[in-house]
Amino acid sequence: MSALLEVEGLVKRFPVGGGAAGWRSMAGRFGIGSAGAPARPMLHAVDGVGFAIGRGETIGLVGESGCGKSTLVRLLTRLIDPTEGSIRFGDTDIGAIPAAQFGRSPDRARLQMVFQDATDSLNPRFTASDAIADPIRRLKPGLGGAALRRRVGELADLVGLPQTLLGRYPHQLSGGQKARVGIARAIAVDPELLILDEPTSALDVSVQVVILRLLEDLKQRLGMSYLFVSHDLNVVRLLCDRVLVMYLGKIVESGPAQAVFEAPAHPYTRALVSAIPTADRERQARRVHLAGEQRSPIDPDPAICRFYGRCPRGADLCRTAMPVLTPLAGEGARAVACHFPEPAPL
Amino acid sequence: MAGQAGAVLADAAAAVPLLSVEELSVDFRTREGTVRALERVGFTVGRGETVGIVGESGSGKSVTAYALMGILDEAGQVTHGSAMFGGLNLLAAPERDLQRIRGRELSMIFQSPRTALNPIRAVGKQLEDVLLRHGNLRARDARDRAIELLAQVKIPDPKRRYAAYPFELSGGMCQRIMIALALACSPALLIADEPTTGLDVTTQAVIMDLIRELAADHGMATVLITHDLGLASEYCDRIVVMHAGHVVETAPMAVLFDAPRHPYTAKLIAATPHFGGALHTLAAIGGSLPDLRGALPPCRYATRCERRIEVCDQPPLSRDWIAADHLVACANPL
């Protein structure tokens, strides 16, 4: 499987705090003697992330809020610029194209996104038809008039949205119908990679099943790759071939979804998987409880494992050397960033 | 501490359920007509018991909670029914009696902690407000008690967090504050409306374990309102399934999941992704909730149901106790 997207050493840091630091930055901007001043505190949102997505592959991205999932997604969709690192998409390093210009780049059409909240992400003054036609108008300007209307109709059929609803505004559509519009809009320009940010979290289970099936079906028919971001691990497991687990800006574990969920190796993944609610009393009893709070993402010590302090293990080595993502012995497809990986069933 | 749960409840016999809701109906008047949000909803909650109310959005889970707390929107009106809570009918009691009970014997945790907390008051002060209103504490003891309560919900460094504002705390921390507020006076019954929606799965486990632990310590009963069947299956003794304003089935947790009798319950279970399941084994639920305005068939699930027979369209809705603790509202059960 040739890689469609290859990310290497991706870093995004945000400056934080105002006060003196804010003034220093201001001074720096106007070129007034900021030399020698201590650096501004930085929030390390994404810290040296690397992975690849093959053609036709579905990758799940999981992790708790604040782990950097959304920042990573915004970097990949080129809504914000990376601090360091490369994002190779096909033959181009799209990471080098400034975000402000990416909207007009031909690569924009190849990489599309389905947003978390179908209600908030649709323009309330656009009908379903306008919403679906908008990206085509912007990115495939050759298509217009009757041809455009025909294409919108085709897309509606593809996502199972009755064509009679195309004239409706978002507030006249149900949650499931809005989700379909969001998907139709994203696939309108024939993307090769679709990034889905919690596409079903706002939906009832009855509708969720239908949308998940639709996504699976579209993938088969159109041959797209998916990056599926979710914190519902049961849903990730249903749809994904491989899974990436993030914790505080770093990937701590990656591998085939089946293997990772059945025998998680990183202590954080173990806690995450064991936290899935279950009626099984034995599984409940084996639950891994995390103590303490997340470490601060602001100027973290590069020598201390990010999970140190919450990790049930927490050995001396863990606060003197940052573990790097290394292939798990005997299992080439899996990698874990832990000094003491423990790939055992829960 | 546990003993103070209720002057009102003191003389209630042990066999009588803590809360007994019967035939609760609620209508909402809107410009587009009257919405029959709840119709003859009934269930009981025993002392120390955890009862889950599950169903899709629009099924009436939250409206039930709001009606019991007496905090329905002005457009909403209880048109029928009773809710006996230790000798007091919550639906007919004067506001003065409700104010005495709410927060002291009957408490509620809301869905989004950040919006439910007062954004411009330190969280410790918000706790003190509840304590001073209900707790018979002197003002100078309230601060210590508030810090104790923060420690009880496992907030690290409670002395410092006492002065924190909601925006300075994470979602999980805010939910712990909500729990501390709700449990400040050791209520006999806690209504938790989607207490972990929007929280991470690891935080969800911490919050739910905390509620379970505190409930066990204080002998408190819990009504857990959730759309997550997985969550309900882990934490509840008994489950009430709602659909379009009706209770369609009530049964002990294990019975409900192993052998659901109402077609809707079965569909809901089959649609829920579970650990180890596959996409092709999940079944969708056909159709959608009926419009709750205007004329409705006796069974509100009939239009979506594959087991509909002639009797289904003839009122009244069939309600059968097929076991002492198992109610099914279906004329043609599984």
Residues of A in contact with B209 (CB under 8 A): 289
Last residue in a domain, options B141, B157, B184: B184
Alpha helix positions (H), chain B: 61-69, 95-101, 113-116, 123-134, 139-152, 158-161, 171-183, 201-218, 229-235, 253-258, 263-271
Q: What are phi and psi of A54, to 5 degrees?
A: -80, 165
The pTM assigned to this predicted structure is: 0.86
Residue of B nearest to A278 (CA): B234
**H or E stretch including B226?**
strand B221-226
Residue B205 and residue A212: Cβ atoms within 8 Å?
A: no
Domain hosting B17: range is 2-105+185-328
Residues B297, B203, single domain; the answer is: yes
Q: Per the domain annotation, does B134 fall within a domain? A: yes
Q: Per the domain annotation, does B312 fall within a domain? A: yes
Residue B40 confidence (pLDDT) above 90: yes
Q: What is the C-alpha to C-alpha distance for residues B37 and A2, in angstroms, rounded to an integer? A: 54
DSSP structure string for A332-345 = EEEEE--SS-----
Interface contacts (A, B; CB < 8 Å)? 98
Residues of B in contact with A174 (CB under 8 A): 288
Residue A279 and residue B234: Cβ atoms within 8 Å?
A: yes
Q: Decide: helix, strand or coil at residue A271.
A: helix
Ramachandran area for residue B320 (φ above 0: left; ψ -120 to 50: alpha; else beta)? beta
Residues B64, B142, single domain; the answer is: no
**pLDDT tens track, chain A, 346 positions:** 578 999 999 999 999 875 555 555 555 555 554 455 567 889 999 999 999 999 999 999 998 888 889 899 999 999 999 999 999 998 899 999 999 999 888 899 999 999 888 888 899 999 999 999 999 999 988 888 899 999 999 999 999 999 999 999 999 998 889 999 999 999 999 999 999 998 888 788 888 898 999 999 999 999 999 999 988 888 898 899 999 999 999 999 999 999 999 999 999 999 999 998 888 888 888 888 887 778 888 899 999 999 998 998 889 999 999 999 999 877 778 999 999 998 888 8
Residue of A nearest to B274 (CA): A234
Residue of B nearest to A65 (CA): B200
Q: Decide: helix, strand or coil at residue B149.
A: helix
Indicate the pLDDT class of residue B155, thresholds 50, 70 and 90: confident
Residues in contact with A33: Cβ distance below 8 Å, sequence separation at least 6, in sequence order: A27
Residue B165 confidence (pLDDT) above 90: yes
Q: What are phi and psi of A293, to 5 degrees?
A: -115, 160
Residues B189, B68, single domain; the answer is: yes
Distance in Å, alpha carbon of A178 to nearest chain B alpha carbon: 15
* pLDDT score recorded for residue A28: 53
How many CB atoms within 10 Å of residue A220? Answer: 10
Residues B6, B83, single domain; the answer is: yes
Q: Per the domain annotation, does B333 fall within a domain? A: no
Q: For residue B294, give the CATH number of its domain.
A: 3.40.50.300
Using only the alpha carbons of chain A, give its radius of gyration.
22
Residues B200, B220, single domain; the answer is: yes
* pLDDT score recorded for residue A26: 54
Residues B145, B202, single domain; the answer is: no
Look up residue B208 and give its amino acid: M
* Residue A82 and residue A94 in contact, taking contact as beta carbons nearer than 8 Å: no
Alpha helix positions (H), A140-239: 145-158, 175-187, 205-222, 233-239
Q: Per the domain annotation, does B334 fall within a domain? A: no
Residues B69, B46, single domain; the answer is: yes
Residues of A in contact with B278 (CB under 8 A): 238
Residue A279 and residue B208: Cβ atoms within 8 Å?
A: no
Mean pLDDT rounded to a whole number for chain B: 89
Q: What is the length of chain B?
A: 334
Closest Cβ opposite residue A277 in set B56, B228, B285 = B228
Higher pLDDT, residue B280 or A62: A62
Residue B1 confidence (pLDDT) above 60: no
* pLDDT score recorded for residue B206: 86
Residues B147, B254, single domain; the answer is: no
Residues B312, B231, single domain; the answer is: yes
Q: Per the domain annotation, does B253 fall within a domain? A: yes
Last residue in a domain, options B184, B215, B241: B184
Distance in Å, alpha carbon of A136 to nearest chain B alpha carbon: 31
* pLDDT score recorded for residue B72: 92
* pLDDT score recorded for residue B13: 43
The answer to whether the peptide bond before residue B297 is cis (omega within 30 degrees of 0) is no
Residues B100, B151, single domain; the answer is: no
Residues B11, B82, single domain; the answer is: yes
Please tell me the total count of domains within chain B. 2
Residues B214, B318, single domain; the answer is: yes
Last residue in a domain, options B162, B184, B206: B184
Closest Cβ opposite residue A235 in set B204, B234, B273 = B273
Distance in Å, alpha carbon of A276 to nearest chain B alpha carbon: 6
Can you tell me the ipTM of this complex? 0.81
Residue of A nearest to B57 (CA): A204
Q: Per the domain annotation, does B299 fall within a domain? A: yes
Percent of chain B with pLDDT over 90: 63
Residue A64 and residue B200: Cβ atoms within 8 Å?
A: yes
